[in-house]
A and B are shown apart, each in its own frame.
Chain A
Amino acid sequence: MRELKYIINDPMGLHARPAGLLVKAAAGFQSDIQIGTAAKMVNARRIMGVMGLVLKQGQEFIMTFDGADEAEAHAAFEVFLKENL
């Protein structure tokens, strides 16, 4: 299992647009991908759950990757987050 920590830069936080892109990106991998905080982790492939996290600028969150392609998923999301959030 791999883990990724990230602090949101985008002033609008994890709003509908990046949430949608994130969910789409997560769907491209086999591994189980979770996103959230110590208080609550949700399946990154589910937009309702991801939007329901209500993550804001300045907040740190975690993503976990567990499965056959966890290495690729981890690398891909490192790039994705920097570019979109």
Chain B
Amino acid sequence: MEIYSGKGVFPGISFGTLYLMQKADVSVDKSAAPDSDFEWEMFEQAKKQADNELSGLFEKTRIGMGEAEAMIIDVQRMILEDGDFNEAVEEYIKRDKKRAACAVESAGSDFYEFFAGLDDPTMKARATDVADVSGRIVGILLGKNDETHLNVPSVIVADDLTPSETLQLDKTLIRAFVIRRGSASSHTAILARSLNIPSIVQANIPLDASLNGKAVVVDGREGKIYIDPDAETTKNMCSLQEKDLAEKQCLDVMRGQPSVTKDGHSIQLFANIGSDGDLEATLAADAEGIGLFRSEFLYLGRDDFPDETVQFEAYRRVAEGMDGRLVTIRTMDIGADKKVDYFNLEPEENPALGYRAIRICFSEPDMFKTQLRAIYRASAYGMIAIMFPMISSLWEVRRCKELAAAARAELVENGVPTGEVLLGIMIETPAAAIISDTLAEEVDFFSIGTNDLTQYTLAIDRQNQRLEPFLDTHHPAVMRLLKTVADNAHAAGIWVGICGELAADESLLRDFMEMGFDELSVSPGYILGMRKKIRDMDLSDDKNGGKQ
């Protein structure tokens, strides 16, 4: 048995036969063409065939999946006919004497780069479409037949999948997707969600022809792929699959239900997200709001600071998508432990205790103002709250409020629409927890970041495996701080939630309800399960003959 792993983007257990989708090595002839007119003629013919293929695929998709998915193919047909695209190919053929396949590949690559470089996620997706179309034409010109035909229920394994490749597959025979590249918001992940099948991206599986045809079981939640599973694994996966199915049915019923105990205590179940790409998963999980919208994704993987528009678009998309439910945006929470060269952060001995988050924001007022402006602009499109991380002192809170007010005033002065925005802070330092009574007077809400609060309170580096025996996430010190913060919040009449990993700890759910927390923000996948547990709870009954 071989085991591989990757990032699970859609949960579930599936058994199937491994189908390896391998791209034939496409090396086009780059030598000069003797007859340009002939090459152009070849291109025109290949284009016609490509259009026929896409036309067939359009119908199949429209009937099999729907109008929205079929639109992707429609756009690809338009790219085929596009004047700019055809002119680019013509130039490569007639002016540069390239052979047809080489010309198409070059033109495709030019447009791919152009769209990939646009700071807009939907336009970036067009880059994939261009690559898909030009790849199709090149394939036809080189006489390659890449049509995939499935005969048995299959687990598709590939380096990456273009939209038309995924749509072309017989969806009744697809049991799971496993790709080496991709991301949670890539086309593959989106399709997996529509098809409701387990999917794993960024998998470390080799694209070895010998794997073709082997029995495989995929665990989409854990991101694991078992090839030629042994008897024990098969047995475990089978029972997991049954449990999963039963749970799914049981949990589906939770959608639309309020998160309230039998004796009437309610709580809000929110989602933690890492980018605007997580919006769909959040809505699918029926989250009542977003308790933590991490904004770091906007700053990572770039050469320079994200401008106001790029940020605004991302915040707005989520605010609109949540349709009136609260979206809590946490301002930039980056430190020397992250790879952001353009921040010019000096290496530190203890980045967890270092120059990070709000401390950087105060030193880089322009950067902070840009983020605040983008958030206030987005607030016109939904319900937004701002949350400031890494707070330890009262003056920090006051400064944040001043800067936020100034950013807002500037927008209002220029007639830019803004909405009401709640201001709150993360309680993740022991200092903030201890003086939370004072801080509660200054803000609209608290959200407790238990990961960092625990590490700072117990003086334990949570990344250090060696310290595991010392790390008690239920440590009484942490529990007392949680209670203190909750009590102080309620005394001041503000709401309090938890957004750290502890929020999803079901063994503490009852304690959190009894402490009176107003909100728990967790990974979307946990929400329905937690709601069920809450609805089955009765806080007035005796727990182990003890408290009441």
Contact = CB atoms under 8 A, between A and B. Distances in A.
A30 to B, nearest CB: 15
21 contacts: A12-B122, A16-B72, A16-B122, A17-B71, A20-B74, A20-B75, A24-B78, A46-B82, A46-B84, A47-B78, A48-B85, A48-B111, A48-B130, A49-B84, A51-B115, A51-B123, A52-B114, A52-B115, A52-B118, A54-B120, A56-B313
Interface in A26-66: 43, 45-49, 51-52, 54, 56
Query: What's the dominant secondary structure at chain B's contact region?
Result: helix
Interface string A9-22: 00110011100100
Interface in B109-145: 111, 114-115, 118, 120, 122-123, 126, 130
Interface residues of A, number: 18
Contacts of B123: 51-52, 54
B79 interface: yes
B109 to A, nearest CB: 14
Interface of A: 11-12, 15-17, 20, 23-24, 43, 45-49, 51-52, 54, 56
Contacts of B120: 54
Contacts of B69: none
A43 B83 contact: yes
B92 to A, nearest CB: 16
B320 interface: yes
Please classify how large the interface on chain B is, using the bins under 10, 10 to 19, 20 to 34, 35 or more. Answer: 20 to 34
Contacts of A43: 83
A47 B82 contact: yes
Contacts of A24: 78
Contacts of A48: 79, 82, 84-85, 111, 130
A45 B126 CA distance: 17
A48 B86 CA distance: 11
Interface string B77-121: 011011111000000000000000000000000010011001010
**Can you list the 7 inter-chain pairs with the closest CB atoms, starting with the nearest?**
A46-B83, A48-B84, A47-B78, A16-B75, A48-B82, A46-B84, A47-B82
Nearest to A43: B83
Given A45-B83, A49-B84, A52-B123, 4 more contacts: A16-B75, A43-B83, A47-B81, A48-B85
B126 A16 contact: yes
B124 to A, nearest CB: 11
A12 to B, nearest CB: 7
A23 B78 contact: yes
Contacts of B79: 47-48
Given A43-B83, A46-B83, A46-B84, A51 B126 contact: yes
